[in-house]
Structure 1
């Protein structure tokens, strides 16, 4: 493995050879390239601005952005993501074709230590190299592509800067992932919207060839696991730091030439509520497009890169957040949350096993053989915390299970949370969001903020 190095600006590439100088905006015919390496040099993310030319059926003279990813030590290095497209189209603004290089920021080392109250490990280290490259669109907007490379993967995201008085809409995102043709993938077909879907409950298609179409015709859900043909390199494609200004992404179901492109949610999701395409004001930052990398599947499982890339918690005091094991009756007896006596039995089970919580699932508001207050009192006597189920609907689902109608409205939601705090309830499970559109992503975050 290489000794530690800083991220490096690769040189401008001109037909016929390398020019040993930093990339500068010169003739349209030349290709401009920038790379960032992980601190130990094991991963490499390369960004390229180039004229697609007639070979791809695109007009000449309209430069586009591409990226590729390499992984492994010098003696066993492989391209795990081939040259893949980047770019955005906003309402009235083209950030795909005809981009001009403006400048590149100084390479920087990211070093951060943080703790997590739950998850893979308590003490985490975010150690990576980053590089920002600035471009200008034909309409005058600034597009910044931020690159990040760590030992366990790479990531990139967009920032759009400009002086626009009105909100803009994302019409399309051209980000794609060109996998090696002989790679094998583990892919979950995206759901066809129904009363209870999308719910990320479809089974994965295991070790399928690149180019296999999604059986649902709705694309492939994140995350996507892949390996190279020799099983020497493993990767997982996903996203990180999704906020209220974007949507939950997936990949197109029928890749073109092995390129899996970002795809919007389905129009029917959430009973058709919410705009399909996200709207936001500038400046805007996209979620990270993330590729975890490793020599084995274990490396993928152990990675904390998604957490590393996400914003730190805004909760200053996290001492009240206490993860724990849960006794959950619905799993084996779906009507049981309506039976107070059965819930007390599961409280006793949790106490006997030393588990921290009981989860009382759907329809606890119409309980027989006692009520929820009896269960809460019994749990308190046994030293077991109580978690309660809630329906997130709202107009975005037609699921009738109760309690319903308290989570989709801020005033009723905050009233309900205050009530639960008075009762001594420790937490909630909120269910049936049924959509990855921006309005439902915002609902997720509103619920978390109010909690």
Structure 2
């Protein structure tokens, strides 16, 4: 239900005019969050946010610099103010919960530029119980039609030198490890210099950091700064002023330095501020999804969450290569048949095949326009025979489209590529954007590329194809609007376990749900069962810093409707008892509870399987061992469940004994209380089947 309010004296919205300074106040439905917007006599418009009386954002500026027309929009008169309330529910096509409540109070201010340009702009705030979203809107008007954005001047002034979980600001990569420092200790240049395994870096500067940005205050508030509904606009990074403890929006530029090309009516993405005094609340927030538009797919019945295996990890551990030259080509007919057999035997939906198509000998580092045509297999890959074989086995092949950064080439060939997929019974594609972007001068995070990702989602939907994008811009809840865009990588995924320098630290997976995953599901590719990666090359020294039980738990703590069992079939067949959890764990859920969590330390999550009474639990920790209490009050009262625990053995340790695990069964009910012991770098996965 939606209520329009036109009096600022009702419930959450108050208006005051004191000493010629106009202030507007809007509270969250539960009154915990209060946003104050002020228009000073000089014309500045600032906003501030408080949570339960504590400062979250101090008075912070709003505004724009336009390149065409050449005007700075930072002095305004408030011409009108409207307010409203919304309290409704909606059902996602797939996801972590079966129903989402959308409950907020809204304030919209119509601003007129005081410089005499005649330009009007709307700033719209939506205040939820778990945070705030605001955006700029440019209505259709004679004073502004086509315009070019030079800079957005959104500020986030912080109250103190908070603990900060951050990545270096970079226009082309979000594959960094997270750093944990005080704000004033941020040094993005030094952090990036430690990263030797990122293929392409485009650093912004020493004080530039990426969103999503996670902060923890000394008095126990958790704050996330991010964005929602990123469409027709560049990715927002943040520029830090250490002296003022203020972050200012920094938009990704194009080849000539402009940020966005817009035509009225136009709007920016939402700038989001999540806040809570309980860390688990951030992980269950649906604010970013609520700020996205409803699904554009009228009949979503063809969208199918799925688990798959893949001819992928072979290339990362030296068993095979993507390219055919050299004699180790992995995507050959006989090898892929083995993966199809494995998928069919153990109940997987699909088989991802990378390196199937001609062009891999010339794909990386040459900044070349035409590398792949996406329809020409290597001679040793009989796609027609494999399609028929997969169909006979009840399995689908999953397509891989690596663009090598040549996006103009991919756009020219998308229709032909998607038709080719349809002809071969494929309904899922993994896209890739490794390397520098063509058109030259564009970045992975620029407006042109953001529009490209949207075009791919829309075009794929026309062919009833689901998307798993890699090396794309960070997700911002667009899987609500385009539910066929089911997952993205957009962060440091499991493939970095093979990186020779920093790799993936044990704490990394305890930070991703608090940061990058606030915007949407991640194709992290969990499920590694072999941890010394010298299986095919004895000179390799790389290791996976995890226990086997933690790899199982990641299927619960890190949500994706497209989940891969990332390791080699022969490694799973050494541990078929543990592999059973990967076979059983769902990829679509009715309910999610985050029972305990602390960023960088641990996460304990319970999820209810879609359409059944069964629950699954995942618990993970960083490099420290710990004991976590697990009350089972999420189970149905009065019912008995068989719990199967896949846990670290007493001797397990990511460094010395990662494959040590124990599987045990218990009879439990909602009154049972368990204690989970997690080894260093370890975890625990539990299946609860109602009896």
TM over 0.5: yes
| Aligned twin of 1:349 | 342
Is this contact kept in 1: 2:148–2:258, CA < 8 A?
A: no
Is this contact kept in 1: 2:112–2:119, CA < 8 A?
A: yes
1:113 correspondence with 2:113: no
C-alpha displacement of 1:425? 0.3
Match of 1:230 among 192, 195, 219: 219
Deviation sequence 1:246-301 (CA, Å, 0-9, x none): 1111112555511111112255xxxx4x8642111112111100011222221111
Q: What is the rounded CA distance, in whole Å, between the counterparts of 1:291 and 1:439 in structure 2?
A: 26
Match of 1:263 among 242, 245, 250: 250
Q: What is the rounded CA distance, in whole Å, between the counterparts of 1:159 and 1:179 in structure 2?
A: 25
Summarize the alignment of residues 315-330 of structure 1 with structure 2, pairs less than 5 Å apart: 315-330=297-312
1:140 correspondence with 2:118: yes
C-alpha displacement of 1:350? 2.6
C-alpha displacement of 1:207? 4.2
1:306 correspondence with 2:306: no
The 3-state SS of whatever aligns with 2:234 is coil
The 3-state SS of whatever aligns with 1:252 is strand
C-alpha displacement of 1:330? 1.4
Gap change, CA 1:368 and 1:243, over 3 Å in 2: same
Summarize the alignment of residues 21-40 of structure 1 with structure 2, pairs less than 5 Å apart: 30-40=20-30
1:157 correspondence with 2:119: no
C-alpha displacement of 1:152? 1.4
What TM-score does the superposition give when structure 1 sets the normalisation length? 0.81
Q: What is the rounded CA distance, in whole Å, between the counterparts of 2:379 and 2:283 in structure 1?
A: 43
Q: What is the rounded CA distance, in whole Å, between the counterparts of 2:241 and 2:354 in structure 1?
A: 38
Is this contact kept in 2: 1:213–1:253, CA < 8 A?
A: no
Is this contact kept in 2: 1:68–1:84, CA < 8 A?
A: yes
Match of 2:393 among 351, 373, 382: 382
What TM-score does the superposition give when structure 2 sets the normalisation length? 0.54
Is this contact kept in 2: 1:116–1:122, CA < 8 A?
A: yes
Match of 1:201 among 170, 175, 180: 175
| Aligned twin of 1:333 | 315
Gap change, CA 1:172 and 1:370, over 3 Å in 2: closer
Gap change, CA 1:370 and 1:182, over 3 Å in 2: closer
The 3-state SS of whatever aligns with 2:224 is strand
The 3-state SS of whatever aligns with 1:9 is strand
The 3-state SS of whatever aligns with 2:454 is helix
Q: What is the rounded CA distance, in whole Å, between the counterparts of 1:149 and 1:297 in structure 2?
A: 19
Q: What is the rounded CA distance, in whole Å, between the counterparts of 2:173 and 2:334 in structure 1?
A: 31
Is this contact kept in 1: 2:166–2:178, CA < 8 A?
A: yes
Structure 1 unaligned spans of 5+: 15-29, 52-60, 398-404
Is this contact kept in 2: 1:328–1:358, CA < 8 A?
A: yes
| Aligned twin of 1:56 | none
| Aligned twin of 2:15 | 10
Deviation sequence 1:301-359 (CA, Å, 0-9, x none): 11111110011111111111112122133134342653333322222333333222222
The 3-state SS of whatever aligns with 1:189 is coil
1:426 correspondence with 2:406: no
Deviation sequence 1:12-48 (CA, Å, 0-9, x none): 232xxxxxxxxxxxxxxx3221121111112222211
Gap change, CA 1:392 and 1:117, over 3 Å in 2: farther
Q: What is the rounded CA distance, in whole Å, between the counterparts of 1:362 and 1:133 in structure 2?
A: 53
Match of 2:80 among 103, 112, 116: 103
| Aligned twin of 2:44 | 64
Q: What is the rounded CA distance, in whole Å, between the counterparts of 1:206 and 1:333 in structure 2?
A: 32
The 3-state SS of whatever aligns with 2:35 is strand
Deviation sequence 1:71-99 (CA, Å, 0-9, x none): 13xxxx31111111111122235453331
1:42 correspondence with 2:32: yes
Is this contact kept in 1: 2:352–2:400, CA < 8 A?
A: yes
Match of 2:157 among 171, 178, 191: 178
Match of 1:443 among 428, 448, 452: 452
Is this contact kept in 1: 2:332–2:381, CA < 8 A?
A: yes
Gap change, CA 1:342 and 1:266, over 3 Å in 2: farther
Gap change, CA 1:382 and 1:13, over 3 Å in 2: farther
Match of 1:128 among 104, 107, 125: 104
1:292 correspondence with 2:290: no
